[in-house]
Each structure stands twice: as C-alpha cells, then as structure tokens.
Amino acid sequence: MDTIRAAKFPFLREAKEFVDSQHIEMADLITSENLLPARKRGIQRVLEALDKGMVEYRPLMNDYDRLMEVMSYPYARMLVSQVDDRYLTKRYALGEAVRMNQNLNDEKRNMTTLLTVSGELGVEALGNDTGIVRMKFTDFLMLAGRLKSKEWKLINNDVRSGMVHLPAEKFNRLVQNAFQDKIESELPLMIPDEFVPHVKRDVEMVRTALVSAKAAMSPTGGKDMDVKFLPPCIKHLVQMSNQGLNLPHSGRFALVSFFNTMGLDYDGIIRIFSESPDFDESKSEYQIKHITGDLTGRDGYTPPECKTMKTNGLCFNPDRICESETMNHPLTYYRRKMWMDEQDRKKSEGGKPPEGQTGGQ
C-alpha cells in the first residue's frame, strides 16, 4: 500500500484500505481526540476551497500525517453536506479537483498513479513511458466540452482510431473535471443523526465563512439590491415590462439573469414581471426557473455583457458612466454607481475615501 498516494488522493480504494488497516470507524472521526488533527484539516480543506478555489498542499512527513490527511477528506465532505449549499458544494468540488490536478502534475508523469486515479474516476485511458496518454474521444468530448480555449477543440488534438493522444498534463486537466463532477454528484451525503451535534460547531464555522464569501462575491456587496444603482438598460427593460410592452426573448433573459445574479429569488423576479398588465405567471414560471437554474439544479445563467446587450439592441439610454472605457457589463455599472454613491456620502459627511481607492469596480 502506498500511503503517500493514499494521502494525496484520499478518494482512492487504497486510501480506504489504509484507514481500514488502522481499524478506524466513521464514528471515531467524529468523536475521537486522536483524530482532532483530521477534523481541523477537514475544516481547513473546506475554507481553503471556499477562499482560494484550491485546497492547499501541506507536507506529509509520516504515516500519521498521511492518515490525518486521508481522514480529513470525509470530514470535509461531511461539513459541506451539512451546510448543503449549492455554491459551497461547487466551490469545494473545484478546490479539491484543482488540488488533485496539481498532485497529479507533481507526480511527473508517473503512469501508475495517473492511470489508477483516472481509472477510479471512471476515465479509461492507456499511457506509456513517453508521457502520452490515450483516451476515448467520447470521454474527451464529455470532459473537454466546458473548456473554452481552442486547444480543447477535438479538431486541434491528435485523434487516431477513436482515441485522443494527449500529453499527461493535459490529460490531468480533464481528470480534474471528472473529479469535480464526481464530488458534485455525490454531495450532500446523508449524515447519521447522532453525528450532527458533534459536527455542529464546525458546520457553523463553515456557514459563517460562506456568508462572508457570498457577500464578497455579490455585486451588491452583500446588501439588498438598491434600484437607484440599476443601469439604464435594465431600468428601461423593467419599464417596458411594467407598461405591458412585449419584451424580446433576449430582453427577458437579460432581466431574469441580471436580477438572479443580484440575489433576487423566484418570488422577487416574478414580482417585477407581475407589474405587467397582461402578466401570466404560468407562462413566465418555466422561463424564469430555467434561467435561474431552479429547474436544472445548476447555476443560473450569467447576465449578458454590454457588448451582447448592444448586439441585441438592448443598450438603452447609456449615460456618462456607460461611456467609461472600462464599462463592459451591467453588473459593473451597478457596482460602480454604488461605489460612487458611497464616495459622495463620505464626502458629504466630511470623511475621506479609503486610502488607495481611486475608482469603483
């Protein structure tokens, strides 16, 4: 048994064998003092993924360190499952998958590890000493489809007899996607009721970090949306809807995706459309829930940028802020106007803008 590999890839069968060999049960992970380092590292895994988009590497000196590392993985999954938030799950899955990719790259084309990891993640492949991996083109299409740069187009790759030939590092990037998908599909896990009180404090710690992370990510800085900061295009679309004018599909899409990103839920969005004199909820519901991701269980669509709005004839009444060279998105408009308002408020109160700040984002 390779305990270093088990620690670096704690989802492998080898990792489970390592734990079994130490006669550790899941209940021990929750309650045992000896496994406190594993629980601490489990919290760290989640917080690093949330904060940095990647679980950080840490040196593993001996079998005890490696065992703690292996056990921290199920604990992290347990915490994420208890919080059960789509954003956290996706962020955590990404953080683990990026870590795994780096660990694979650090293996310097060690084909045994590479093919063991990919095989257990359901990606069949063959490799040789030259560091080239062959995989089925159907797997390639499934895993590379979401990677937008040209190098991931099938036509730009070496395809022979239904197999894509790739350098190991490129193959590892696809294995990252497979691992991310696997985690997302497995979580949330069912946690036995008797475990819940034991993990409560750690779950709360993750919840608090999640609230801060979401606030930092939010276009409104975690505050409620304020209509006075809305860009002119969005204001105009809302007015059109209120007046019962027929919004083009691209306009409805822009409105729903914009307000969804601003943090409005289904009820908040439907309220905007319900102002329209010929409003029919049954017609709007499917469309809204599709765009927000409520129907598909996926993330909602990203609202269109200014360039797309202009192409679709939706850039109405652009103002002075819109004319700025760096204005490229209605969400940027909102943030900038909110920032300007904050500066005006500080000036009128006699305060100075925070040091180093010369413009809003």
283/273 Cα distance (integer angstroms): 11
Which of 327, 335, 341, 342 is in the footprint of ligand SF4 by CB under 6 A? 327
Spatial strand order of the sheet with 132-136 comes to: 125-127, 132-136, 163-167, 158-160
**DSSP per residue over 142-207, as a string?**
HHHTT--SGGGSGGGSEEETTEEEEEHHHHHHHHHHHHHHHHHHHPSPP--GGGHHHHHHHHHHHH
225/210 Cα distance (integer angstroms): 19
CB of 279 to ligand SF4, least distance (A): 24
Q: Give the list of residues 6+ apart from residue 327 with CB closer than 8 angstroms, or none.
A: 306, 321, 333, 336
Angle between helices 232-242 and 266-274 (to 10 degrees): 60
Q: Does 318 bind ligand SF4 (CB under 6 A)?
A: yes
Q: How many CB atoms lie within 10 A of CB 7?
A: 25
Residue 320 DSSP SS3: coil
CB of 312 to ligand SF4, least distance (A): 10
Binding region for ligand SF4 (CB under 6 A) out of 19-27, 290-298, 322-330, 343-351: 322-330
58/316 Cα distance (integer angstroms): 52
CB of 233 to ligand SF4, least distance (A): 3
Site string for ligand SF4, 292-311 (x = CB under 6 A): --------------x--x--
Burial of 160 (0-12, 13-18, 19+ CB in 10 A): exposed
Q: 54 and 93 in contact (C-beta within 8 Å)?
A: no
Nearer CB in complex with ligand SF4: 210/233: 233
Nearer CB in complex with ligand SF4: 135/233: 233
Q: Does 333 bind ligand SF4 (CB under 6 A)?
A: yes
Nearer CB in complex with ligand SF4: 249/352: 249
Which of 330, 336, 337, 338 is in the footprint of ligand SF4 by CB under 6 A? 330
CB of 227 to ligand SF4, least distance (A): 15
Nearer CB in complex with ligand SF4: 327/340: 327
CB of 316 to ligand SF4, least distance (A): 6
Q: Does 115 bind ligand SF4 (CB under 6 A)?
A: no
Nearer CB in complex with ligand SF4: 188/318: 318
Site for ligand SF4 in 215-244 (CB under 6 A): 231-233
Which of 315, 336, 337, 338 is in the footprint of ligand SF4 by CB under 6 A? 315
The footprint of ligand SF4 (CB under 6 A) covers: 231-233, 306, 309, 315, 318, 322, 327, 330, 333
